């Protein structure tokens, strides 16, 4: 089956949804492809909020400075300034769509602002402790009722389709698996937008949902796009540690509102790692927890907010309270057991501030993209902001570029493949990949660990390629193929960085280099074999 649209958007997080809605309001016919249901995305699970300067006691300069400090010298200053200064406009857009941000208890006209690690002021707008869900659900209400938007749920993109037009390579569509029917369909469009999120599922422990398998980054790299700074994987310091809790995040805002980190015996430890203590940026807190766990031989640390009282906790963290209570943890009386977990992919597909990649007709926005905003470490609550600001610029770029069409595309050919004989191969390789990434390419790295990782990744790549070449596509195979490529990009980028900066910490190179550069991987002229 061959579909034609003015724009095809892969991913249904805030980046993809906002781009789709804006394009549709310009009269463009838009398709949204999502691997599961519309709300299953990283954005939905974002608890903390959206950083924006809306308080007269705050300033753009302060937000810019905080972002640059967190980014450890690798932020693109132009990108930081542009996104920060367009934040209030993005907030107004959300409010007009019906997002009801939490208000001050005694001042209903004033939006309550919380503070998170790395921020020098209260500037994080939120909807209690479930901001992502509230924002995504508000945008979805407009998306599903828009006559110019068609949603394709349970569709997994396989690969981008490229053509040569006037001696130039262009993106002209995408092949996608209709998982409900087991058929591959062709989506024809001169504007393809990757809004596929990050690659948290390349690690054994992650706060990300199962759909976060780096699909957009892998597809773009295979199609010829450059990627940058893939070594910078942000580990959230506080993921709920409980055998029955899967990937449940304990928001940064818990520390922002006075939460204290302790060892299981109640001893506080952040004072020995950073003068900002619990309010230090995420990379510092995650490394501190990792250090203390290894030093003391414990399998978790504790985050204690109980001293703030039950009324305060229920007002600010109702979702976290309810989740923990369902597992037998009353956070108004006891500390929360937490561990670090892979959380955010700071690198990605290289784009400009309009989401333009180096492949004509292909755009990227959100976590899968690299604008330079985050540098070596993302400042808390800047991610949803980037989705909105760059998403708007991307739409304006598409509209100003006019309408293009490349004619009919060739349908997917599976005449030379058969049904898989042993699905266990996929499950085994998936588990092996995630474990080796956790063990060898985690919070603290060494050259030896990276060498072990790339050796095993190369073996897995060979097995997966053989499997992909001979058997019919499944969703699990698509994701595994993408994950092993993204894992390779992470390890190769880590090899290239001979220093410790931001989220990349190497015991072999503990100091900062005097030369500050991005790590760029070009699929056409690879720097690392």
Catalytic residues: 282
Question: What are the helix (H) ranges across 214-296?
Answer: 215-223, 252-256, 282-296
Could you give the strand order of the β-sheet that contains 301-304, starting from the edge strand earlier in sequence? 233-240, 336-345, 301-304, 260-262
In angstroms, rounded to a whole number, what is the distance separating the alpha carbons of residues 130 and 117? 18
Residue 8 C-alpha from the chain's centroid:
20
Find, among 466, 223, 202, 156, the residue nearest to 361 by Cα. 223
User: How far apart, in Å, do the first and last CA atoms of the chain sit?
Assistant: 38
Diameter of the chain measured on Cα atoms: 68
In angstroms, rounded to a whole number, what is the distance separating the alpha carbons of residues 445 and 73? 20
SS3 category, 443? coil
Find, among 22, 39, 87, the residue nearest to 384 by Cα. 87
In angstroms, rounded to a whole number, what is the distance separating the alpha carbons of residues 401 and 102? 39
Strands (E), 293-333: 301-304
Torsion of the alpha carbons at 78, 348, 123 and 133, rounded to the nearest 10: 140
């Amino acid at each position: 089956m061959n579909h034609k649209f003015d724009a095809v958007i892969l991913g249904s997080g805030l980046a993809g949804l906002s781009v789709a809605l804006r394009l549709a309001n310009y009269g463009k016919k838009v398709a949204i492809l999502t691997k599961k249901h519309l709300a299953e995305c990283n954005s939905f699970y974002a608890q903390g909020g959206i950083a924006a300067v809306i308080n007269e006691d705050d300033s753009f300069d302060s937000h810019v400075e905080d972002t640059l400090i967190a980014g450890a010298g690798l932020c693109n200053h132009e990108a930081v300034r542009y996104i920060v200064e367009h934040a209030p406009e993005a907030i107004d857009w959300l409010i007009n769509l019906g997002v009801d941000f939490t208000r001050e208890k005694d001042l209903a006209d004033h939006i309550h602002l919380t503070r998170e690690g790395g921020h020098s002021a209260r500037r994080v707008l939120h909807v209690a402790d479930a901001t992502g869900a509230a924002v995504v659900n508000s945008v979805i209400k407009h998306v599903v009722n828009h006559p110019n938007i068609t949603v394709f749920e349970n569709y997994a993109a396989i690969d981008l389709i490229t053509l040569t037009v006037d001696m130039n390579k262009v993106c002209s569509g995408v092949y996608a698996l209709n998982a409900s029917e087991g058929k591959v369909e062709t989506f024809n469009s001169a504007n393809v937008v990757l809004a596929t999120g990050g690659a948290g599922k390349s690690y054994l422990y992650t706060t990300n949902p199962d759909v976060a398998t780096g699909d957009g980054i892998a597809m773009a790299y295979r199609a010829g796009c450059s990627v940058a700074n893939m070594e910078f994987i942000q580990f959230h310091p506080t993921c709920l540690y409980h055998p029955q809790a899967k990937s449940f995040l304990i928001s940064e805002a818990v520390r922002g509102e006075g939460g204290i980190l302790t060892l299981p015996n109640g001893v506080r430890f952040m004072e020995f790692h950073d003068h900002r203590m619990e309010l230090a940026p995420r990379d510092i807190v995650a490394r501190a927890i990792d250090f203390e766990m290894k030093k003391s031989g414990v399998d978790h640390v504790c985050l204690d907010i109980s001293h703030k009282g039950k009324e305060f906790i229920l007002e600010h963290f109702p979702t976290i309270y309810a989740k923990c209570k369902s597992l037998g943890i009353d956070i108004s009386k006891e500390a929360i057991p937490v561990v670090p977990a892979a959380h955010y992919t700071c690198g990605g597909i290289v784009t400009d501030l309009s989401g333009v990649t180096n492949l004509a007709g292909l755009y990227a926005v959100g976590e899968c993209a690299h604008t330079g905003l985050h540098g070596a470490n993302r400042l808390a609550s800047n991610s949803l902001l980037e989705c909105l600001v760059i998403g708007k610029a991307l739409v304006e770029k598409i509209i100003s570029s006019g309408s293009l069409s490349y004619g009919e595309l060739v349908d997917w050919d599976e005449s030379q493949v058969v049904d898989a004989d042993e699905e266990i191969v996929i499950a085994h390789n998936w588990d092996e990949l995630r474990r080796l990434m956790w063990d060898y390419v985690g919070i603290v790295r060494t050259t030896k660990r990276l060498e072990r990782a790339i050796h095993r990744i190369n073996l897995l790549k060979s097995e997966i390629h053989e499997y992909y070449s001979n058997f019919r596509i499944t969703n699990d195979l698509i994701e595994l193929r993408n994950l092993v490529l993204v894992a390779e990009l992470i390890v190769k980028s880590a090899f290239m960085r001979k220093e410790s900066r931001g989220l990349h910490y190497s015991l072999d190179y503990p100091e900062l280099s005097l030369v500050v550069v991005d790590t760029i991987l070009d699929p056409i002229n690879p720097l690392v074999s």
